[in-house]
Every structure is written in structure tokens, then in C-alpha cells.
Amino acid sequence: MTDHLAHCPALFLTAPASNQGKTTITAALARYFTKQGKVVRVFKTGPDYLDPQILAQASGQPVEQLDIWMAGENYCRQMLFEAAQSADLILVEGAMGMFDGEPSSADLAATFGIPMAIVMDVKGMAQTAAAVALGLARFRDDVQIAGLIANRCGSERHAQLIRDALPTDIPLLASLKRDEEVTLPERHLGLVQAEEVRAELEARFEAAVDWLAQTNDSKLLCLPEPVAFRAPEQSEPSHLETPLLAGKTIAVAKDAAFSFIYDANLRALKSLGAEVSFFSPLKDALLPEADALWLPGGYPELHAQGLANNRPMLDQIRAFFAAGKPILAECGGMLYSLESLTDLEQTTYPMLGILKGAGAMRGKRGCQGMQSAPLPEGEIRAHAHHRSRSENTPDPIAHGKRQRHPAPGEAIYREKGLTASYLHLFFPSNLAATAALFSGAGE
């Protein structure tokens, strides 16, 4: 290793579509190699809160999100370079299908030279799985294909049909049988939060290690070839020259109802000089002493009764708002800020009422996508992912700017010191604007 180059075995798990088993297999590999005494660093493509929780528990290491648009190429390069200096293996889980999105999983893998393993649910097909894998492998010439992982394979005969149909440069890395014991628990926004089912996940991870070991193809259980990860030519700034939030304390809601928090965002706040203090809107009666408040996303709809019943906390946050102090409310945090929230059972509960309007869940219909937030403090990159709606809200001060579409994005509201939106902000994309947002400098 030179000062600017670090070598580490790495594999990028991708798929032709969602729901092929990427997270299950990534978690299984992370636990398998961790049990071999290896340090495994896992990364997740795109803005995702739930998969990283699962993968962090499987690997015993922090999991970072990588997105070239939201975070920037330099940031992603820095994260991979730092991981390669201490890890024995880097795993990257893709998002959606291999070429879906701009930038796609393939774009990320090609940018950093990480070989891709194609995860495919082969139930109901045999030689066709080889044809799909071949099409993915040949679609672009700037991606390296390590091979195919045949998930939910029915038998050794099934695997052999796929193996014989694959070209020699696309090996069958593993044929994994159907096994419901390793399937990860899900709910309406995706996987269940790891903290809620930690013991169950442990049992599934251990079962998944045995599941991997039963494959007749041993290639997946050997460390892949090392990849050379180069440091960015200009290191991503971890802080501004002036710590703009020095002396400030930011209270962050964190419990079963509010947990959609990027570690990168917490690091950004600390790099700006802020102290971070956590509290639970579900269980705590008092807010910590703080200069600003962050209500992140999560699952308030699953805990609406508990939130509504914690009247002392409601009163504390209302008083904080009345004092004009900065509050950032993102997605679930915005729903909590509204006058009421109707849950999935169509029961309506009173919420904070610091923002006019009512929130309601809407089943499987939702909105997701990359957007930037044009705030008075500056533009911060973000994303939206929700299955709820809000009605009778005030006029917004702005709308999110969609990455690839001219239509207005999510509404952004501002009342006194409160900034509320469905958007989840990625603070490192604009540290100065983030500091101004939490200090109230943009009012």
C-alpha cells in the first residue's frame, strides 16, 4: 500500500431487479467471513436506512451509504479508501436492478473498479437465468462480472442446467437452495428495523452461514481478488475551517419511532463543532438542554398512540418551537409535527401541531426519488421515500428539485424556526448550509 492506494478484496452484489435476495446474501456473506475472523466492511448503494441496520448487525461494523449524486464521487472514494486500509473484505450491496437509476449500481461499481456478482432468484427458470446474466454482463463493457449467484435454486440438477448454460467467463459462484429460515423480516417501507428484531436476526444470520456452506459451488466462500482503492485527489473535507456550530447542542430524536439517521449526518454535525444529544419522543418526559432540534424520519405511524400519549414531551417540543429555536423535521418527523396522524388502521391521533395540516398513511402507494432541497441557507442534496400524504398544510417556501425531472418535488415548509419536509437531507453535501440551518442563520 502506498499513501494513496489501498488494496482490499471486494465484491459488489447486484441483481436484475429488486427482491432477488441481495440483502439476505450480503448479510450472510458478512456474517460468514466475520466468523472466519475477518474484518468485513459493508456499504449500501443509495439512500437507505433499513438495509444498513441489518448489514451492520451482520458484520459488526458500521455501514455507510454510497451514492455518487447525493454524496459526490470524492466522498464515496474517501469512504472506500478508508475502509480498504483496515478491512479484510469490502462488500457493496446494490440497489434495485443493476442498471436502474442515474447513477446506477453499475455506475458505482465501474467508477471504483469493483467486480459485480449477479444475484438472481432462479425459481421457475433454468437456462434463461444464464441468458439474463449474459445480457447483464454484456450490456456495458466498463463493468467487471465476477459471476452469478443462483438464489432459490431447487436442486443440484437445477443448478447444473444453469451452470452448463453460462459462458466460461461468467462462473456460477453459488447455487443457494430455497430456505425461509434465512429470509429477512419486512414491512411496508422495506425491512424491519434491526433493533426491533435483534435476536431473530441473529438466528437468521447463523442459519444463513449454514445455508451458504451448503452450496455445491465454493467460489463464493473464498475471498475475492483484491481491488486497488485510490484516495481522492482532493480529500473530502471532514470539517470547515471555522466550526460554525461550536458551542451548540443539537437534540436528536432517536427511538423505535425515529431512527432514519445517517451516521454521516451525525459526523457532519460533530465536525461542525456541535454536541449531539439523543432523546426519545416515545419514552422521555423532558427534552435535553439544546439549541436546536432534529426530528428525523422513521415509523411514527407504528407508534402514533405512544407519541400522542406522551403529553409532557409534546409540551416540551411545543415550547421549544414557540421559543423560535431551529427545528428540522424530516418525513416521519414532519408527520409528528403536524396536527394529527392517521395510521395504517385508519385511527387518527393528535400530534405536535407546530405545523398546520394532517398526515395519513396510504398503504402501498408512495413516493421516492433523489431531490435537492433549495433552502434559504443553501442547497442540500436529499431523497424522499414515503407512503403517506399530508393535507391542509401551509404554503411551502420551496419545493425539492428532482434529479432528472422538471416537476416540483416535495414541499418544504417553514414556520418560525421549524423547517419541515418529506425530504431526508444528506448534511455532508453542504456543510455550510447545514450549519446555518441548525443555527437559524438562514431566517
Give the number of other CB atoms < 10 A from CB of residue 163. Answer: 18
**Strand pairing category for 358-361 and 388-391:** antiparallel
Question: Is residue 232 pLDDT above 70, yes or no?
Answer: yes
pLDDT for the residue 291: 98
Percent of the chain residues past pLDDT 70, beyond the cut? 91
Lowest mean pLDDT among 193-207, 284-298, 370-384: 193-207
Strand, helix or coil for residue 116: strand
Please give the C-alpha separations between residue 316 and each of 79, 151, 332, 350, 434, in angstroms, as whole numbers: 38, 50, 18, 15, 24
- Choose among 138, 130, 141: nearest CA to 171: 130
Phi then psi for residue 265, to 5 deg, are -70, -40
Alpha helices in 92-243 (DSSP H): 105-112, 127-139, 156-165, 198-213
Please work out, in degrees rounded to the nearest 5, the angle formed at the alpha carbon of residue 388 by the alpha carbons of 383 and 390. 95
pLDDT for the residue 192: 55
If pLDDT is split at 50, 70 and 90, which confidence band does 274 have?
Answer: very high
Question: Is residue 217 pLDDT above 80, yes or no?
Answer: no
Bridge partners for 116 per DSSP: 12, 145
pLDDT for the residue 4: 86
Question: Is residue 231 pLDDT above 60, yes or no?
Answer: yes
Bridge partners for 92 per DSSP: 12, 43
Strand, helix or coil for residue 13: strand
pLDDT for the residue 405: 82
If pLDDT is split at 50, 70 and 90, which confidence band does 177 have?
Answer: confident
Question: Could you tell me which residues come within 8 angstroms of residue 405 by beta carbon, excluding any fewer than 6 positions away?
Answer: none
Contact 69, 103 (CB under 8 A): yes
Please work out, in degrees rounded to the nearest 5, the angle formed at the alpha carbon of residue 66 by the alpha carbons of 60 and 67. 160
Question: Is residue 305 pLDDT above 60, yes or no?
Answer: yes
Mean pLDDT over each residue of the chain, to the nearest integer: 91
Q: What are the residue numbers of the active site?
A: 331
How far is 233 from 240, CA to CA, in rounded Å? 18
Contact 26, 55 (CB under 8 A): yes
- 406: cis peptide before it, omega within 30°? no
Write the secondary structure of 61-102 as one string of H (helix), E (strand) and C (coil): CCCEEECCCCCCHHHHHHHHHHHHCCCCEEEEECCCCCCCCC
Kindly state the average pLDDT of the residues 281-303. Answer: 97
Grid coordinates representing 6?
A: 489501498
pLDDT for the residue 180: 66
Contact 58, 35 (CB under 8 A): no
Give the number of other CB atoms < 10 A from CB of residue 281. Answer: 25
Question: Is residue 60 pLDDT above 70, yes or no?
Answer: yes
Contact 115, 144 (CB under 8 A): yes
Question: Is residue 211 pLDDT above 90, yes or no?
Answer: no
If pLDDT is split at 50, 70 and 90, which confidence band does 362 have?
Answer: confident
Query: What is the domain partition of the chain in residue ranges?
Result: 5-230, 249-439
pTM of the model: 0.89
Strand, helix or coil for residue 295: strand
Which residue's C-alpha cell is 456541535? 274
Grid coordinates representing 370?
A: 433523489
Give the number of other CB atoms < 10 A from CB of residue 3. Answer: 6
- Which of 3.40.50.720, 3.40.470.10, 1.10.600.10, 3.40.50.300 would CATH assign to domain 5-230? 3.40.50.300
Contact 14, 109 (CB under 8 A): yes
pLDDT for the residue 373: 97
156-165 helix and 127-139 helix, angle to the nearest 10 degrees: 40
Tell me the residue type at 97: G
Tell the CATH topology of 249-439. Rossmann fold (3.40.50)
Contact 381, 70 (CB under 8 A): yes
pLDDT for the residue 48: 82
Question: Is residue 367 pLDDT above 80, yes or no?
Answer: no
Question: Is residue 264 pLDDT above 50, yes or no?
Answer: yes
pLDDT for the residue 188: 44
Residue with the larger pLDDT of the pair 233 and 443: 233
pLDDT for the residue 35: 95
- Please tell me if the domain spanning 5-230 has the same topology as the one spanning 249-439: yes
Question: Is residue 1 pLDDT above 50, yes or no?
Answer: no
Strand, helix or coil for residue 430: coil
Cα of 367 vs its chain's centroid, Å: 16
Question: Is residue 406 pLDDT above 90, yes or no?
Answer: no
- Exposed, middle or buried, 242 (CB in 10 Å: 0-12/13-18/19+)? exposed
pLDDT for the residue 321: 98
Question: Is residue 187 pLDDT above 70, yes or no?
Answer: no
Contact 194, 219 (CB under 8 A): no
Grid coordinates representing 108?
A: 458505482
How far is 325 from 354, CA to CA, in rounded Å? 12
Phi then psi for residue 22, to 5 deg, are -60, -50
Summarize pLDDT for 334-348 with one digit per residue, the tens.
999 999 999 989 999
